[in-house]
């Protein structure tokens, strides 16, 4: 039993309430303590990434051993796929907290901000580490309710309305998820993911489970903002404070949306071809519609939020292709390539979208506006922001040698090898339109010469914000190394093996 696993959940939860108590008595306790907690979590998550490899670690909470080889306790599972998402959550979380040391000075209730942030991180860590369905629901609710409060943090008109829309749709999603879990429990009488897979081997009532799969897809699709469930995303991500936008768009829609869909569909349900085609279609629609809606925007953060929908479409498209290939026959090399491309793009998108939201926050911090028509010529006066923004824009458009190029290349090659020529063509077209979109962003924000900026003093942003942006851009460059064979076998291949091999996950857990 790996002793590090409960630390990921205990430390943020205890830290959140400790910040609320100590923050009244000691000044500046909240920021440094929150940064320290998240730095520690980032270090142990990188350590787990380096040491996990092909083994599964299990933690039986409360020490309840299985009876007649049926798990009866709460299990926390750490395998190859979990450590990748865990590292993303904690590293982006640490950089966001460091960024917000100087950004949050404008708001008054700093104690509450850091406490809610730690609760959100604790909830997300719990979702990726849990091994049974109801714990996923409870930790999902913890993190999502904290994010409702954080979106409405500076209580202006726009932020409250965006938070209300987010709450209604998020509440509907939670209801659908709970209903799906209830229907699964009715038939199988157990809640452990590996044990449900064992019960499915005995008998599988396909029409009933297709209904349950549709409910789960709608519920988690609302959390992951796939078309047609995307209506809350532009308002919520553009009205939140910038470090929270980076966390929401870079981590939350992945950890509580896409991660659970991938985990349940690959490791729990049996893959049927109709559901796989549906998932691939939803991914393609997200990819295309997201980028077309983003072109006409003049508000920076709304533009970035719509392009988040498009990039998440890439991940769902490639994972869907893998599902179609696995459901047709046995596990083939093309399916492994498709799922690898999807996971790689997931990691890349966290890095460059977080960096883009940090840049938008830096621009808003100095200029006080988010409208592209009122900016210009910032490349001379804000050199760090403009250099990191250039790196991020080239990454998201897929220009070599940055990381976006490699992940999009793997997705397009997998589409061509599997003979889905239309999907490959759409992926290339959307990539070109994304390049046009971000060239527009760069030109209007940084390189356009206007003379309305000469009568305002514009200087570079404070040190914590520059530090976070520079470290994130270094991550963007270093992540392109994941495509090369040595590092890829150590990091990505264990995750893909757990996902695409049908019986590996459940046989490990039942055996322990």
Partner 1 sequence: MIVYLLCFILFLVGLYGVITRRNLIKIAISMSIMEFSTFLLFALVGYIDGGVAPIVDPADPVKTYVDPLPQALVLTAIVIGLATTAMMMAIIIRLYRKYGTFDIREIKSLRG
Partner 2 sequence: MKGMTVIVKKTTQLIAGMVFLYGIYVIVHGHLTPGGGFAGGVIMAGSFILLILAFGSDFMHLTKEESGTTMYENLATLVVVFLAASGLLFGARIFFLNWLPKGTVGQLVSAGMLPLYNIFVGIEVASSILTIFLALVIFKEEISE
Could you list the residues that contact partner 1 (CB under 8 A)? 134, 137-138, 141, 145, 148-149, 152, 155-158, 160-164, 167-168, 171-172, 174-175, 178-179, 182, 185-186, 189, 191, 235, 239, 297, 302
In the complex, which residues of this chain contact partner 2 (CB under 8 A)? 1, 3, 6, 10, 13-14, 17-18, 20-21, 59-63
Q: Is the dihedral of CA 437, 443, 446, 448 positive or negative?
A: negative
| H-only helix segments in 130-156 | 133-151
From the list partner 1, partner 2, none, pick the one residue 481 interacts with, judged by a Cβ distance below 5 to 8 Å according to partner type.
Answer: none
Residue 375, CA distances (Å) to 52, 64, 458 in order? 47, 60, 12
Residue 456 contacts residue 388 (beta carbons within 8 Å):
no
User: How far, in Å, CA of 148 to CA of 163, rounded?
Assistant: 6
By beta-carbon proximity to partner 1, the closer residue of 19 and 173 is 173
Q: What is the 3-state secondary structure (H, E, C) of 366-403?
A: HHCCCEHHHCCCHHHHCHHHHHHHHHHHHHHHCCCCCH
Nearest to 468, CA basis, from 42, 33, 29, 7: 42
From the list partner 1, partner 2, none, pick the one residue 422 interacts with, judged by a Cβ distance below 5 to 8 Å according to partner type.
Answer: none
| Residue 466, CA atoms < 13 Å, CB-side half-sphere | 10
From the list partner 1, partner 2, none, pick the one residue 163 interacts with, judged by a Cβ distance below 5 to 8 Å according to partner type.
Answer: partner 1
CB 511, min distance to partner 2, A? 20
Q: What is the 3-state secondary structure (H, E, C) of 214-241?
A: HHHHHHHHHHHCCCCCCCCHHHHHHHCC
CB 24, min distance to partner 2, A? 8
CB 326, min distance to partner 1, A? 31
From the list partner 1, partner 2, none, pick the one residue 321 interacts with, judged by a Cβ distance below 5 to 8 Å according to partner type.
Answer: none
By beta-carbon proximity to partner 2, the closer residue of 63 and 511 is 63
Helix axes 333-367, 485-500, angle to 10 degrees: 110
CB 148, min distance to partner 1, A? 6
From the list partner 1, partner 2, none, pick the one residue 1 interacts with, judged by a Cβ distance below 5 to 8 Å according to partner type.
Answer: partner 2
User: How far, in Å, CA of 428 to CA of 444, rounded?
Assistant: 25
DSSP class of residue 106?
G
From the list partner 1, partner 2, none, pick the one residue 467 interacts with, judged by a Cβ distance below 5 to 8 Å according to partner type.
Answer: none
By beta-carbon proximity to partner 1, the closer residue of 123 and 257 is 123
Neighbours of 108 (CB within 10 A): 10
From the list partner 2, partner 1, none, pick the one residue 59 interacts with, judged by a Cβ distance below 5 to 8 Å according to partner type.
Answer: partner 2
CB 484, min distance to partner 1, A? 42
CB 182, min distance to partner 1, A? 5
CB 76, min distance to partner 2, A? 9
Residue 249 contacts residue 92 (beta carbons within 8 Å):
no
């Amino acid at each position: 039993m790996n002793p590090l696993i409960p630390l990921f959940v205990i430390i943020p939860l205890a830290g959140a309430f400790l910040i609320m108590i100590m923050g009244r008595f000691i000044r500046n306790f909240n920021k440094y303590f929150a940064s320290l907690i998240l730095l520690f979590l980032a270090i142990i998550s990188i350590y787990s990434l380096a040491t996990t490899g092909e083994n599964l670690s299990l933690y039986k909470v409360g020490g309840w051993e299985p009876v007649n080889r049926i798990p009866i306790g709460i299990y926390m599972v750490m395998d190859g796929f979990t450590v990748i998402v865990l590292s993303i959550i904690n590293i982006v979380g640490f950089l966001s907290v460091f960024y917000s040391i100087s950004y949050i000075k404008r708001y008054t209730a700093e104690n509450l901000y850091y406490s809610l942030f730690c609760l959100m991180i604790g909830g997300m860590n719990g979702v990726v580490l849990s091994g049974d369905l109801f714990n996923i629901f409870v930790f999902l609710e913890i993190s999502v309710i904290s994010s409702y409060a954080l979106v409405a943090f500076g209580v202006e008109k726009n932020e409250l309305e965006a938070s209300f829309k987010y709450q209604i749709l998020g509440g509907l999603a939670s209801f659908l998820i709970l209903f799906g879990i209830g229907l699964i429990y009715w038939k199988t009488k157990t809640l452990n993911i590996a044990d449900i897979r064992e019960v499915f081997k005995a008998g599988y009532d396909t029409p009933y489970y297709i209904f349950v799969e549709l409910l789960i897809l709608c519920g988690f699709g609302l959390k992951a903002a796939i078309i047609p469930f995307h209506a809350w995303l532009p308002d919520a991500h553009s009205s939140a404070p910038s470090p929270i936008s980076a966390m929401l768009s870079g981590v939350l829609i992945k950890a509580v949306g896409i991660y659970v869909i991938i985990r349940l569909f690959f490791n729990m349900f049996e893959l049927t071809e109709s559901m796989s085609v549906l998932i691939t279609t939803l991914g393609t629609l997200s990819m295309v519609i997201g980028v077309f809606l983003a072109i006409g925007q003049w508000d920076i953060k709304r533009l970035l939020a719509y392009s988040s929908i498009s990039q998440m479409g890439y991940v769902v498209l490639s994972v869907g292709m893998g599902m179609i290939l696995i459901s047709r026959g046995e596990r083939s090399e093309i399916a492994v390539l498709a799922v690898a491309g999807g996971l790689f793009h997931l990691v890349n998108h966290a890095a460059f979208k977080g960096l883009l939201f940090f840049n938008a926050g830096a621009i808003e911090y100095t200029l006080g506006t988010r409208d592209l028509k009122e900016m210009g010529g910032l490349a001379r006066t804000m050199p760090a922001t403009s250099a990191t923004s250039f790196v991020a824009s080239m990454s998201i458009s897929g220009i070599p040698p940055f990381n976006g190029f490699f992940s999009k290349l793997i997705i397009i090659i997998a589409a061509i090898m599997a003979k889905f020529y239309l999907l490959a063509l759409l992926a290339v077209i959307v990539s070109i339109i994304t390049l046009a979109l971000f060239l527009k962003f760069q030109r209007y924000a940084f390189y356009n010469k206007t003379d309305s900026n000469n009568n305002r003093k514009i200087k570079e942003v404070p040190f914590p914000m520059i530090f976070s942006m520079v470290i994130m851009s270094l991550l963007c460059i270093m992540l392109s190394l994941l495509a090369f064979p040595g590092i890829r076998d150590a990091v990505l291949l264990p995750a893909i093996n757990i996902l695409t091999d049908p019986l590996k996950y459940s046989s490990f857990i039942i055996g322990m």
